[in-house]
Structure 1
Amino acid sequence: MELAFSILLFSFLFASLSHQPAYCQQTYINETRLDCDANAAFSKGYLCNGPQTCQSFVTFRSRKPYNTPVRIASLLASEASDIVAINNVSAESAIPPDKMIIIPVTCSCFGNIYKNPAPYTVKPGDTYYILAKEIYQGLSTCQAVISQNYYEGEKMPVGVELQVPIRCACPSKNQTANGVISLVSYMPAEGDTLTRMGELFGVSPQSIMDANSISQNTTVNLFTPILIPLLDESCPVSPTSFFCRCSNGQFSYRYGNSCEVDDKDGEDSPVKLIILL
């Protein structure tokens, strides 16, 4: 599985910190994620232990009917133009089946839980379980969706709008002090290991374990997001990182590209530069 990213340069504006304790990690939700009868509090989302709001990321796999930037953005309350820029995909064409896409989301604290609220219109046959597992691919849980809506799982009227809390998190004070500037809610694929996930995003397996309060012996489940901490590192020093800081002080989301835009014969290179405020 290989990612192809174009450059995305942007400036972060972090809001004020919450009054929650600044723990350095969140709780990995394990097998409770799809149990609609369970009531584990941590299954409803990550606890607010950092900024009230931040730029965060989730991963999603292209599957019909959610296989274009516009449809994915609508499902996950994101921006299609940002999805196009980060993932180097066409704005018009369908994305190849099962391709992993990085989705930028605004992660905010509601009460004591981080989430990115996404509206969803109920279709025939939908249940909370189907929403959590099939449609949102584990980026929300049965418990989280149920807690935000008033309908019984088998009796959701077709056409009503639900609020689906997308699972996301912001760096804690301790993480920020250790160079973490954003978090990815990554959905593991078949055969993924901590080492493989670390290589994909240019971070160490230990940093992933610390972010999720897990050990080498923890079983990483499919349909269960795991947090990947993105470090504030220099692009020249960490050229293979998914996320790094350019020499001009801005941040670059890239995969094997330079921070600089080449100017050949007076023509702009095809690399896209986007500033997010």
Structure 2
Amino acid sequence: MIYLLFLIWITVSLSFAEQFYDPSDCSSDTSHPGSRYTCDSVRQSCRTYLVYRANQHFGLQKLVNISALFRINPDELLHLNNIASPSETLKPGREVLLPITCLCSGQYFQAGLNYTVPERTSISEIACGVFEGLSKSLTLLRENPSQGNDVELGGKLLVPLRCSCPDNFTGVNQVKYLVTYPLLEGDGIIPLSMKFSISVHDLLAANHLEPKSTVFPNTTVLVPLKSDPSINFNIPDSPPPTPGFLPTATVEKTKNTKLKNLYIAGSIVGFLLVTVALLACGLYVKALKKWKGERLQSFTDRNSVLSGSTARSSPLSGQTGRSSTNSCLSPDLLAGIKFSLYNYGIDDIKRVTNDFNEDTNKIGEQVYKGLIDNESVMIKQMKFEDIRRVIDMHSKINHVNIVNLHGVCYGENDFTWSYLVFEFPANGCLRDCLSDQAHRLDWSRRTQIAFDVATVLHYLHYCIFPSYAHMSVNSRNIYVTSKWRAKLANIGSTLAVTSSTRNENADTVDGLVIPEYPMTRPASLKVDIFAFGVVLLELISGNDATKGTLLKDSIGFLGGGENEGGCFEQLRSFIDPCLKDEYLLAEALCLAVLAKACIEDDPLRRPSMDDILKVLGRMV
């Protein structure tokens, strides 16, 4: 009889859930014990708590917004969290206790929450950013099988928040609540036990952790409480670690004389290295000037041969500051740009953009303007992985007609927005200059801008390895300086490709369908040629290609067919009327014919940037 009772006790004990700690990151795509807390057939639900931190990145710094996210009455949270008003702005990272009902669903505990996505984002950003790891991205995907990794605006998700109910077999006696607590960098078992006034032993036992176990940021632990929860915010900043336990980050700080001397020695050595590097740079620039002269003559001779004229110099030579050889200056001197970028804080970015004011500072999709040290800048909001690609690209290039990259502002982690800070040329984008009725561009400035854009595209196509196709050349990605010179922006948004590489995404340029797209996908470098032709048509006509104007059809009179009014008359009607007669008709015809060649249906019939430069070099 006693043996039978013992077997029953063992069976019942094993039926209760054992909650393990999952050391994997919130965004991990692998399931581990503890990724979801298991439930048993006895305890089906309970009233428990979650800890959430005021989050400035998602507008969740006020209690009223946090309560709305979790569908909780804000008045219920005031006394529990010792907060005076639901509209009070909380300090970023301020911890808030949230009462929830934890239910056993299938084999796992969870607090199900319906969430409507306010803007296009990723599953990882929702799980690890908005909900701070209270639900893993893998769990979120499994609960919403119809959704992919990217969720569109207005998408509806079921968010299974991690929670658990005590079963009194967790190794901790008389547990009333198991509070789900998300860990940050610097959190450890000791400060956590002090924060909730519980023993380290109970905290380890509730999560099946050994005394020498390590806990990691972006994970969760269960805090076992024997009474109603309260958080002690007045714990010491650096509690001494217990022997054998490894927190997520070292909290002990010592003032070591040897370490201080090491810092001083390192600073001296660093200063000497910088001095040597500057001297080397000076010698390099001196040698580079000599090389440029030799390179210019070589390139001029090559152009003469390619143009079929050996007795006459290339039209590109003799143009001060306009030779296509400028496009080939890519010294490795700038390879360290990504290590010398200014690192801005998010507060700096918010200040110069008036907290991302869309009415006064937004100038494009996820692009804002601002003023830093009396210099106009563009601030582009990007994903972390895209930031790295753009910086890597800018570390390989050096061209006067490319918008300069000044600095970077990294997000707190891979799932928050990061920002790049670029120069903002004084006259804004080319499209705005062409649309300005009061200060329209004259003809000479338009031909100079065309030459500048061709020069930088020639540089990207021929003077870096591997060849780089911009894939987004248009009048909104071309900026105009105070001296009316063009600079190309949005460098690095596509991968470097060779001339035979196919791009799977580009199918239109400013509203014009790339002819080869439906059959073969476009050859990447030829897509830039097509796009450049569209820019030429905008420069000639002043029309905006994105507004449905069929610019390609507008130059049909160049095909040699019978058209009413004659070729020159139709050309005059196509040219921007604000230019009046202040242009050379022969140059306008030359540009129009060049543009028509660039947007040929057959990509093999389009000219190369080398050929384009030879034509434009005769005009500027």
User: RMSD between aligned alpha carbons?
Assistant: 2.5
Shift of the 97–28 alpha-carbon distance from structure 1 to 2, 3 Å rule, reads same
Counterpart mapping for 1:245-260 below 5 A = 253=230
| Equivalent in the alignment of 2:128 | 133
Counterpart mapping for 1:1-277 below 5 A = 21-23=15-17, 25-35=18-28, 37-40=29-32, 42-43=34-35, 45-49=36-40, 51-64=43-56, 65-89=59-83, 90-175=85-170, 178-232=173-227, 243=229, 253=230
1:188: Cα distance to partner? 2.4
1:101: Cα distance to partner? 1.0
| Equivalent in the alignment of 1:248 | none
The answer on whether the counterparts of 1:32 and 1:40 sit within 8 Å (CA) in structure 2 is no
* Aligned counterparts of 1:175 and 1:40: Cα–Cα separation in 2: 19
1:62: Cα distance to partner? 0.3
The answer on whether the counterparts of 2:144 and 2:157 sit within 8 Å (CA) in structure 1 is yes
Equivalent pairs, count: 218
The answer on whether the counterparts of 1:212 and 1:227 sit within 8 Å (CA) in structure 2 is yes
Shift of the 176–55 alpha-carbon distance from structure 1 to 2, 3 Å rule, reads farther
Shift of the 206–154 alpha-carbon distance from structure 1 to 2, 3 Å rule, reads same
1:19: Cα distance to partner? 10
The answer on whether the counterparts of 2:189 and 2:200 sit within 8 Å (CA) in structure 1 is yes
* Aligned counterparts of 1:82 and 1:223: Cα–Cα separation in 2: 28
* Aligned counterparts of 1:20 and 1:109: Cα–Cα separation in 2: 17
**TM-score w.r.t. length of structure 1:** 0.71
SS at match of 1:56: strand
Higher relative contact order (CA 8 A, sep 6+): 1
* Aligned counterparts of 2:75 and 2:46: Cα–Cα separation in 1: 19
1:208: Cα distance to partner? 0.8
Shift of the 117–181 alpha-carbon distance from structure 1 to 2, 3 Å rule, reads same
**TM-score w.r.t. length of structure 2:** 0.33
| Residues 41-95 of structure 1, C-alpha deviations (whole Å, 9 max, x = no match) | 642x200146211111111110131122222122234332222121111212222
Greater C-alpha radius of gyration? 2
SS at match of 2:176: strand
SS at match of 1:33: coil
1:172: Cα distance to partner? 1.1
Percentage identity across paired residues of the two chains: 26
The answer on whether the counterparts of 1:118 and 1:166 sit within 8 Å (CA) in structure 2 is yes
Unaligned runs of 5+ in 1: 1-17, 233-241, 244-252, 257-277
Unaligned runs of 5+ in 2: 1-11, 234-620
* Aligned counterparts of 1:62 and 1:87: Cα–Cα separation in 2: 12
